[in-house]
Structure 1
């Protein structure tokens, strides 16, 4: 424990040096935390982390078999075997008419569907979906396809479940249906050549969890008892009291003498590692007052010592987390840290205040976003956790005025995390496959495209135009304009499907209008990205 905590103190010292160098401030005297003064001895208080370990913190693999439709001749009959039998059974359950004809159609394809469910996920949370072809499939492309509703199961290998009888067996045994997936398949990503990229796909946010996946706090064997487990659950719920709104909504719940179940509070949904750290620092006993530490120095009361350490740049990182773990009663002490000379102390205090729901953090976090690139991501995440007016206002200021590309897009993501239904950020869903957002900006125009989490194109400013002359080929689409043209031609040349003739449209040179025109002709997200890349 002592070694791990001392590294946290060293990190604080290094961050302080970086921040002060960047700001050109007077450097205060920094007292590094000594390795021979571990935090347990310094504070003399037992925390949840000393009695427990976390379980179920890794993402859970889920998988299933699905059907992609709308392939216009690039699909293939489902290969014989277990996968076909599973899909046939599922389609019959869904009462799909003429199942055998569907499975033998070249306009459809059997696919393997997989996803990762993060630790702490709640029922209804969206997850990203991966789609691939099974061995023996003759499908040539999944482009333009749509994955029909399918179930995803947890699973394990037979060799793991019964190593004595089935040692080394790689046969998968399905568990329960704990997620489902559906949506348009986006291709053109991943590794391999262009043909290989057409045979795998993604559906960002195309899955939803069907059950909660709580974290597990596992009590160490020497302290396993109903009394200790209930005490830990009570202490954690007290620390996160504002999130407890009704019976059954508690953050921590006693399950057995050895296990306490945890739900991730809303404010930590974008920062699970911080939630885990704070839980570990929740005290399970009252602070001793009169005891002495190893240096024979009388200990100060726990909260008083933390307030003092918060003002020490060498200790402020851990002190702020420990104060956060005490709950709402720490808001006033943390506010005092906002007035400190050290930018690191101010940031740590502001970050903790954000997760405690105090709007007092807004000004300082916005300042960090603008001026401290090393801490920018942490500050944006903290602001995204606090649905208060100050965060909305400050993030909008950053969104429309910042000259830094990453900062602008980070502010956009943070605002969407606060309210994805915000009409100014909602954007347009094009071709039922990807989103187009147009954001007014006083800074230089910027085009941001996403290749993870969500298929979206964000246009900052209003001057994004293609400069003629150009001739761009992207999949089935060709864009052309001569040097004198004020508009361009968009031609769709179908490569699959019988009897389909080329279609042509004219549109302005504005990038937003070109994207919408391509989508109207059926362009996939990968086609749009290829146009922008060229």
Structure 2
């Protein structure tokens, strides 16, 4: 029986990452036998027709009787830590309420550091805090929805004391992150530690070229993939009404589609179903939830009839195409025969949605439609199509289309094509991890017939892509010098090597010489600062942000035969599913 509480739950049900499920009064598992709704012109408002189509898409699915309840929202966490390596640009001051907390945290970090020196001078925790080479910072982050233990995520750091001049070149010591609370800036956080954070701070080196964007102050920065979850987040669904039969039906539908050991779903109570994210969807939790909520609860002839009705609705130009396509995808391969005729539909939105469902169901006939949208500069679904090629199971066809896009002139299309190509065909990208003691960043070289381009990630993973890197070289004469940079690069006209001076707080090291090749130069800048057997220097030990800044200055001066582009705000939404949006959580 429906109660006030169950009605409230119903209004919070989520069927996609951005839409809240509504219209639950007619939702259920009844047999789907009625014909598609006729739509005579002028008899119904467009919004009303859309609501009818939405009800059709949701009827008989998991999302029609249950909603995400736990672990499916971003979780805000924060902590306080100490940044080192600031060379007199930090601050000696520390709020008294944080001092003892930080001293204990530094001691714990030292005890767990496998690279800690066992002999020689080591300042005390109090001396470190009092040094102008360090700064106390506020550390904030959002643990991803559905994150499991070990999942990495980005963090933001902000200097607490106004005397701190810059965090450039700094490294955050290991810091505990706890659930976010609205406290004063210097308040101590209590509660269970949910994540750890640490690593080199990345300051935007492109700030001079982004006048329209918010200026990123040097007292603020980010640590790319610097956070790590220390425990699994609990995931669960809740049914609108309590029913053992319903939760078991949901459990069986999920486990039939997402086979795993241990099972993906478990009926924990008459109202809740616990979830585990399958290995294939790690990092794509939003995509997992999106499909899960559109799985059908029926089977056999009922599903066939439902697929026919959904396909008929999908052919309407004003239909909720994404919802309908997801419900068809949820049905599985039996839906292919009904959506295949829509690949040739004259309406772009219809054929794009149908082909997306078809590609995800591994229908080879759908790939040509997706490729057509990806190649069409006028298609409003171009970016989505390129993303879809990155998850396509028809690897040779998808990879060939992406390579062609990579050779084009549109910088954003080339970036999207590169990101998709590295997912669908790893052999197309040569990867090198730069840094041995601590992994600094990932360097990728991608062949292309187009103009060479350097692409830099600023979220999720420190990664530099040299697109056309096999043809990318420094062009003497060149001079790359900046007061904030730890290195100075020079090469006279006709030189075959680049000379590099490495600035140290106490002295200047070098000159060291390396190749004009940009891949070789990039590896040398970021590799560990140590001498190999035979006396050869392995690298200069620059952090990711410093390496990116050097490449940016060289490109800006025309000293590298390449354009440079970095990950734009918002473009990541085109490369991966949106984080789930759901009800506020009462659990961790």
Instruction: Report the TM range for the smaller structure's normalisation.
Output: 0.7 to 0.9
Structure 2 Cα separation of the partners of residues 419 and 133 of structure 1: 42
Residues 105-124 of structure 1 mapped to structure 2, 5 A cutoff: 105-124=131-150
Structure 1 Cα separation of the partners of residues 274 and 407 of structure 2: 44
Structure 1 Cα separation of the partners of residues 215 and 312 of structure 2: 62
Structure 2 Cα separation of the partners of residues 40 and 63 of structure 1: 39
Structure 1 Cα separation of the partners of residues 541 and 282 of structure 2: 35
1:231 paired residue number = 249
Give the deviation of 1:66 after TM superposition: 3.0
1:445 paired residue number = 452
2:569 paired residue number = none
Structure 2 Cα separation of the partners of residues 301 and 195 of structure 1: 56
Shift of the 146–407 alpha-carbon distance from structure 1 to 2, 3 Å rule, reads same
User: What SS does the corresponding residue of 1:147 show, helix, strand or coil?
Assistant: strand
Alignment pair present for 1:130 and 2:156 = yes
1:60 paired residue number = 75
Give the deviation of 1:139 after TM superposition: 4.2
Q: Deviations over 1:439-470 (max 9, x none)?
A: 21112222323333333332222444455555
Shift of the 89–256 alpha-carbon distance from structure 1 to 2, 3 Å rule, reads farther
TM-score by length of 1: 0.74
Alignment pair present for 1:143 and 2:163 = no
Shift of the 40–393 alpha-carbon distance from structure 1 to 2, 3 Å rule, reads closer
Residues 264-413 of structure 1 mapped to structure 2, 5 A cutoff: 264-265=277-278, 275-284=288-297, 301-315=305-319, 316-338=321-343, 340=345, 343-356=348-361, 361-371=366-376, 373-386=379-392, 389-390=395-396, 393-394=399-400, 397-398=403-404, 400-413=406-419
1:533 paired residue number = 556
Alignment pair present for 1:202 and 2:222 = yes
Q: Deviations over 1:295-328 (max 9, x none)?
A: xxxxx93222123334455545443222112234
Alignment pair present for 1:260 and 2:273 = yes
Structure 2 Cα separation of the partners of residues 43 and 385 of structure 1: 24
RMSD: 4.3
2:96 to 62, 77, 81: 81
Structure 2 Cα separation of the partners of residues 47 and 260 of structure 1: 15
Q: Deviations over 1:19-38 (max 9, x none)?
A: xxxxxxxxxxx999954441
Do the aligned residues in 2 keep the contact of 1:479 with 1:488 (CA within 8 Å)? no
Q: Deviations over 1:142-186 (max 9, x none)?
A: 33333333332223347xxxxxxxxx9996753322222232222
1:179 to 179, 186, 195: 195
Do the aligned residues in 2 keep the contact of 1:122 with 1:209 (CA within 8 Å)? yes
Give the deviation of 1:412 after TM superposition: 2.0
TM-score by length of 2: 0.68
User: What SS does the corresponding residue of 2:335 show, helix, strand or coil?
Assistant: helix
Shift of the 521–387 alpha-carbon distance from structure 1 to 2, 3 Å rule, reads same
Structure 2 Cα separation of the partners of residues 33 and 263 of structure 1: 42
Do the aligned residues in 2 keep the contact of 1:120 with 1:215 (CA within 8 Å)? yes
User: What SS does the corresponding residue of 2:78 show, helix, strand or coil?
Assistant: strand
Q: Report the count of equivalent residues.
A: 479
Shift of the 357–41 alpha-carbon distance from structure 1 to 2, 3 Å rule, reads closer
1:99 paired residue number = 125
Shift of the 145–44 alpha-carbon distance from structure 1 to 2, 3 Å rule, reads closer
Q: Deviations over 1:396-448 (max 9, x none)?
A: 5336534432222212212334577x583314526953443322111222232
Structure 2 Cα separation of the partners of residues 336 and 39 of structure 1: 20
Give the deviation of 1:381 after TM superposition: 3.0
Shift of the 35–285 alpha-carbon distance from structure 1 to 2, 3 Å rule, reads farther
Structure 1 Cα separation of the partners of residues 456 and 109 of structure 2: 37
Alignment pair present for 1:45 and 2:59 = yes
Structure 2 Cα separation of the partners of residues 47 and 358 of structure 1: 23
Q: Deviations over 1:43-69 (max 9, x none)?
A: 793443343443454311122233434
Structure 1 Cα separation of the partners of residues 461 and 58 of structure 2: 47
Q: Deviations over 1:240-280 (max 9, x none)?
A: x1x22223x31x33344443344445565566555554444
Task: Could you tell me which runs of 5 or more consecutive residues in structure 2 were left unpaired when the two chains were aligned.
Answer: 1-9, 19-39, 112-121, 527-538, 558-588
**More relative contact order, 1 or 2 (CA 8 Å, 6+ apart):** 2
Structure 2 Cα separation of the partners of residues 417 and 388 of structure 1: 12
Do the aligned residues in 1 keep the contact of 2:317 with 2:347 (CA within 8 Å)? yes
